[in-house]
Amino acid sequence: MCTARQGLLHFFAFCLHANQVLVQTDDWLKEHEEEVENLKAMELDALRRACWMTTQARIERLSTRLEHVTTELEKRDDRQIAPRASWNE
């Protein structure tokens, strides 16, 4: 059986180990801070490019669609196009 004293000693040993891990993690972060920041910037740049490309592709699709609609409207006689009042019906 584990006595209270042994339990307390195990707890202190655990706390010391946890503190060492935290210190090592903190040291690692300080040592690699610039690299981490560069990687964050690269990832953010990649996300911006992906978003820009998606937006650009959407604009191109809408532009093509507008060209098709405009071409079709130019082919039609004005009498074939419904008056604006009937659009809401």
Per-residue pLDDT tens over the stretch 31-89? 888 888 899 999 999 988 888 888 889 999 999 999 999 998 888 877 666 666 666 65
- CA–CA separation, 36 vs 17, rounded Å? 26
User: How large is the average pLDDT for residues 9-15?
Assistant: 80
Q: Residue 84: how many CA atoms within 13 Å on its side-chain side? A: 0
